[in-house]
Structure 1
Amino acid sequence: MIVITEFMDAEAIDTLRAAGAVHYDPGLADRQEAIPPLLRDAAALVVRNRTLVTGALLAAAPRLRCIGRLGVGLDNIDLNACAAQDVTVYPATGANTLSVAEYVVTAALVLLRRAWFCTSDMLAGKWPRGAAGEGQEVAGKILGLVGYGAIARETARLARGLGMDVVGHDPFLPGDDPAWGATRSLPLADLLGMADVVSMHVPLTQGTRHLIDSAALANMKPGAILINAARGGVVDETAVAVALRAGHLGAAALDTFENEPLTQDRASAFADTPNLILTPHIAGVTEESNRRVSALTAANIIQHLARQD
């Protein structure tokens, strides 16, 4: 049995069904308590980012052999517990890289230009040409990438195509590593002080939690833009809202949040916050990327189970 707890491309599900029994319920992530009984005889589990794979969940799945992650972040999966139970975890590495990179560059374009924020005024019969014409071009701006893995590198490639200068910070990548290419490696403080757009590309760890806090935001260039399509928790959301209201932070786009889904109560922290885009953790989700992520995950699951037979 293969249990799938979150949405997956239909063609990939059919591929899995051809290999064995499948229980597909994309709403299970909202009913975590319903998952353990389904795993008693499951050989594989497929999740996205909202299903919490804990030691307790794994204890209810004695026959589980592998987990397919429809994405790349693994902070919702207890990797130590998986290793202890000899359960292999397969992230869909590389399959949504382009989608996230396009999201970041698009957010930078929209937030710099700002012309697309005047729709409500236009519908009200206003003609806000002055304010709408105060936007900026992306060409010539400095993009700062915090973390320089595969997604950040693809983002850098797209940004340079638009005429941006790209700088980056990654303590795990030596400054002379050829992977930097045309991107300048800088200390984080220097990057924050010079970048017109700062984009987060780090996992959520003890060392990166609230990496962008009120102090880091104060060190950013006045009027700069912050984009977080990495992991909720790497930025202090309350501090971001405060910095936006104060006008020091020019704009922000947040796709990931410390608590997901973002409830109305949690969202109230962003009330009356200007120049802000909030999206529901979909930077890596497009029609194309969903097909790629799902196909890769299905292939990983089938290959693993075939090797174990």
Structure 2
Amino acid sequence: MLIVISEFMDDAAVAMLAARHTVRYDPDLVDRRDALLQACEAADALIVRNRTRVDAALLAAAPRLRAVGRLGVGLDNIELPACAERGVRVIPATGANARAVAEYVIATTLALLRGAYIHSAQVAAGAWPRTALSSGLEAQGRTLGIVGFGGIGQLTARLARGLDMKIAAHDPMLDAGAPVWAETGVRPLALDDLLAECDAVSLHVPLTPQTAGLFDAARLARMKPGAILINTARGGIVDEAALAAALRHGALRGAAIDVFGQEPLPADSPLANAPNLILTPHIAGLTQEANERVCSLVAQRVDEALHA
């Protein structure tokens, strides 16, 4: 059977698949749409990350396609109804990169609360901003709000509790009596109540019609003054211009943004010169360990799907 891999994948996972199938591994295919469609003509499975669009046109070009492996968890680049209609199984790497994302959230929360680490160049240049950088904050006793309380959100809560933080969460898919609240000791709150109370807010929801633009100017204004926002979910959830304005006006203490409405981030983005902002290129879930887990898991499940 033929497996096409259109974005980068761990060598060991590629080798595992190649031992059992014919594999076309071409991580640049994502940028050559016509070549991708041609490669999929005989494909039994396709493995992608977040940039390959698995849409109606691709499915039409791939009559033999039985499975799509997603090296990650977000599925907004895959047309799920079209795949379901064709009987194509979609296989995400659920849970495999949770630790990487949770540690990113904790690390950026600590960095933004302390507020000192982005000034290394000043110290190296001979400045000594000791007084200005002596008013950082500790995590202990502060409240972390988690929007979306699935596996990644729950692991983030567990790590934050190790810092003696208080945790609240909002998830419209979980009612107040869901067992997870008692199991984790996390308080469920309505979204606006969470924003008003929490010192740091971390987003862990998919991009859907309901979450697109969820954090617009009005909702950002409901956040606790001096709070921190961390988005490792999807870029379309946060209004980037509104966030930049909130940072410039001092309404928020800081933000860490790993995902953007347009990727790569345009040079003229309103976020480009915003203060107290950590920008990373969609890598919160990417560590050496997480990449190995993600690739191994997807390779195994794609292989199982083709032999089902």
Superposition TM-score tier, normalisation by shorter sequence: over 0.9
Matched with 2:79 is: 78
Q: Give the C-alpha shift of residue 198 in structure 1.
A: 0.5
Partner of 2:258 in structure 1?
A: 255
Alignment map for 1:1-309 (pairs within 5 Å): 1-180=2-181, 181-265=184-268, 268-307=269-308
Per-residue CA deviations over 1:43-82 (Å, capped at 9, x if unaligned) read: 0000011111110011000111100000111110001111
**TM-score if structure 2 supplies the norm length?**
0.97
Contact 1:40 1:61 in 2 (8 A): yes
Partner SS, residue 46 of structure 2 = strand
Mean CA deviation greater in 269-278 or 292-301 = 269-278
Partner deviation per Cα, 1:131-159 (whole Å, 9 max, x = no partner): 22221111111000011111000000000
**Rounded Cα–Cα distance in structure 2 between residues aligned with 1:271 and 1:170:** 31
Structure 2 SS opposite 1:280: coil
Cα distance between partner residues in 1 of 2:163 and 2:9: 33
SS, match of residue 111 in structure 1: helix
User: 1:271 Cα deviation (Å)?
Assistant: 3.1
Q: Give secondary structure in 1 for the equivalent of 2:173.
A: coil
* Partner SS for 1:75: coil
Distance 1:175 1:105 in 2: 26
Shift of 1:205: 0.5
Residue 34 of structure 1: CA displacement? 2.3
Q: Structure 2 vs 1, CA of residues 132 and 33 (structure 1 numbering), >3 Å: closer, same or farther?
A: farther
Q: Is the 8 A contact 1:50 1:260 kept in 2?
A: no
Give the superposition deviation at 1:206: 0.5
Q: Aligned residues, how many?
A: 305
Gaps of 5+ in 2: none
Q: CA deviation at 1:28?
A: 2.0
2:180 and 2:31 map into 1 onto residues whose CA distance is: 40
Q: What CA distance in whole angstroms lies between the structure 2 residues aligned with 1:117 and 1:134?
A: 14
Taking only the aligned residue pairs, the percentage that are identical comes to 56
Query: How far apart are the structure 2 equivalents of 1:23 and 1:120?
Result: 45
